[in-house]
């Protein structure tokens, strides 16, 4: 159990920075939804969707490349080579965006806010360049340094948004600290609106360069064709995989913009529907962040264990416990979704699609299983299969969205997510068993999954007139579910992997 405990420990540290930080960040949602309309929030979701696509090209798979090549060759400083490539590529892409910012703004219907395009270009550059120092910290198992930098970045972003969206407007209105009004008025523009969300992100990202000064100070520009060509050959399929993966995850927003009939929802425009769907999607962030925390710790861990003869059994055990913990999260959020919705989405107009959350959570859970299964093609240097699976998933996503959005609106996008990740998971498993056999035992996991779905479905039909009883029942169901898993799995927990 030593290796599992080590992975769990690392995941816990990464989880604190990722989950706690993002939950704090998500605490801004009530502030956003109390100030801005669904249409304005829809525009924020729309622009950040484009950012997600561009980040794939900015980082060009160099994080995974750093892990793989550093573990194969201890003598070469791949941090310098991966960092150099990302620095040059991201600088080039950012310059192009800045040069063509007016054309891009026109295409994205942002003619009156071209400054957002410029800010996002700089945000992309800093995000990409700092991704390599963060990867270096993960490679060296410096989880605490990683967590502190991430938490500081998120805390600064939150603090700036509170200042820009709440404190400064209140000072300008004369609600309090009236003596500061002349100072605040010298730089604060109340008409910037949602632009302050992007500005806070920009400032917080620039501060990352200070937070990561120690690993950045070790960086040196390095170029060697013989070293970098194999890196690029390894990374290129990862880029294609990443792009297809983002398409599977985020293209629904862009397709809603194009395919949702104008009058589909009586009380919402298309942009407002995107805003509602985007805020609902954020409630699946609990599953997403747990998976992200696992990836931060798991990816370098899997590579480091690749040479161990017992690694297949270890990987199978890891998947088993990952699914069990994810199901606890799935049940916990789903049966308490009304309470969670009221906490985070204060306005009722933003809670009209809470019924989608269990579907979205389950889709993310399937994605987490795929992440576990996908280690086989990374360890066997067959990363092209990742491209195949991601293209397959993207194709399913696009097809299902094309078919369902005009018929059932954004409900179709939620269904598309589940169909996408289910298909990818099946394909990855069957091909993985052919090229890199791992003794997964899916029979008990399938039973656990069906039980969890049944519990969530049954809990949705429990209606109490008393709110306290309703919320209390939700907590009780979760505790009983956890107890049930413990009773079934306690012997296995004490067994050696």
Q: What is the pLDDT of residue 497?
A: 44
Q: What is the pLDDT of residue 9?
A: 59
The closest of 394, 368, 386 to 427, measured between CA atoms, is 386
DSSP-assigned states of every residue in 28-53 = THHHHHHHS-HHHHHHHHHHHHHHHH
Residue carrying the six token digits 């209390």:
472
Asked whether 459 and 334 are in contact (CB, 8 A), the reply is yes
Query: Could you tell me the residue range of the domain that residue 295 belongs to?
Result: 2-493
Q: What is the pLDDT of residue 34?
A: 74
Asked whether 95 and 241 are in contact (CB, 8 A), the reply is no
23-49: b (≥16 Cβ within 10 Å) or e: eebbebbeebbeebebebbbbbbbbbb
Its sign, for the CA torsion 361, 362, 363, 365, is positive
The Cα–Cα gap between 5 and 439 comes to 20
Q: What is the pLDDT of residue 234?
A: 86
Domain count, the chain: 1
Q: What is the pLDDT of residue 496?
A: 47
Radius of gyration of the chain (CA): 23
- pTM of structure: 0.73
Asked whether 262 and 270 are in contact (CB, 8 A), the reply is yes
Burial, 236: exposed, middle or buried (Cβ in 10 Å; 0-12, 13-18, 19+)?
Answer: middle
pLDDT mean for each 10 residues of the chain (497 residues): 56 58 65 78 85 90 85 78 93 95 87 89 94 87 83 89 90 84 87 89 92 90 88 85 80 88 85 86 79 71 70 86 92 89 76 90 93 86 83 92 94 94 94 90 92 92 77 89 89 57
The closest of 202, 274, 248 to 52, measured between CA atoms, is 248
The closest of 441, 478, 241, 415 to 323, measured between CA atoms, is 441
């Amino acid at each position: 159990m030593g290796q599992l405990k080590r992975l769990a420990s690392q995941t816990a540290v990464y989880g604190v920075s990722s989950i706690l930080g993002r939950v704090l960040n998500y605490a801004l949602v009530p502030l956003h939804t109390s100030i801005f309309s669904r249409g304005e929030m829809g525009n924020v979701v729309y622009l950040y969707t484009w950012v997600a696509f561009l980040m794939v090209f900015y980082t060009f798979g160099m994080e995974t490349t750093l892990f793989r090549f550093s573990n194969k060759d201890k003598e070469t400083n791949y941090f310098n080579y991966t960092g150099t490539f990302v620095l040059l590529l991201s600088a080039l892409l950012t310059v192009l965006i800045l040069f063509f910012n007016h054309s891009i703004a026109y295409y994205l219907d942002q003619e009156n806010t071209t400054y957002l395009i410029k800010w996002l270009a700089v945000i992309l550059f800093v995000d990409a360049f700092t991704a390599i120092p963060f990867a270096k910290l993960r490679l060296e198992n410096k989880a605490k340094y990683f967590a502190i930098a991430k938490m500081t970045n998120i805390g600064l972003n939150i603090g700036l948004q509170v200042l820009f969206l709440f404190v400064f407007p209140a000072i300008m209105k004369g609600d309090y600290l009236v003596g500061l009004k002349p100072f605040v008025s010298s730089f604060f523009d109340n008409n910037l609106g949602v632009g302050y969300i992007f500005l806070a992100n920009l400032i917080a990202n620039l501060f990352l360069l200070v937070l990561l000064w120690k690993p950045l100070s070790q960086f040196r520009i390095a170029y060697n064709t013989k070293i970098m060509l194999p890196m690029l050959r390894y990374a290129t399929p990862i880029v294609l995989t990443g792009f297809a993966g983002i398409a599977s995850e985020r293209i629904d927003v862009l397709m809603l913009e194009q395919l949702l009939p104008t009058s589909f929802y009586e009380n919402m425009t298309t942009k407002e529907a995107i805003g509602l769907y985007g805020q609902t999607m954020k409630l699946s962030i609990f599953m997403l962040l747990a998976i992200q925390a696992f990836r931060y710790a798991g990816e370098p861990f899997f590579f480091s264990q690749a040479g161990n003869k017992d690694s297949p059994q270890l990987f199978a055990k890891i998947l088993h416990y990952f699914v069990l913990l994810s199901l606890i999260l799935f049940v916990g959020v789903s049966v308490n979704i009304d309470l969670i919705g009221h906490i985070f989405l204060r306005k009722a107009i933003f809670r009209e699609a809470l019924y989608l959350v269990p579907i979205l959570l389950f889709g993310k859970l399937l994605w987490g299983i795929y992440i576990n299964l996908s280690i086989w093609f990374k360890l066997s240097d067959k990363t092209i299969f990742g491209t195949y699976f991601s293209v397959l998933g993207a194709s399913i996503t696009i097809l299902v969205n094309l078919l369902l959005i005009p018929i059932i609106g954004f409900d179709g996008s939620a269904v598309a997510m589940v169909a996408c990740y289910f298909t990818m998971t099946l394909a990855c498993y069957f091909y993985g068993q052919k090229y890199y056999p791992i003794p997964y035992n899916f029979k008990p996991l399938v039973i656990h999954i069906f039980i969890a779905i049944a519990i969530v479905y049954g809990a949705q039909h429990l209606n109490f007139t008393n709110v306290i009883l309703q919320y209390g029942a939700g907590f009780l169901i979760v505790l009983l579910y956890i107890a049930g898993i413990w009773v079934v799995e306690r012997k296995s927990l004490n067994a050696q992997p």
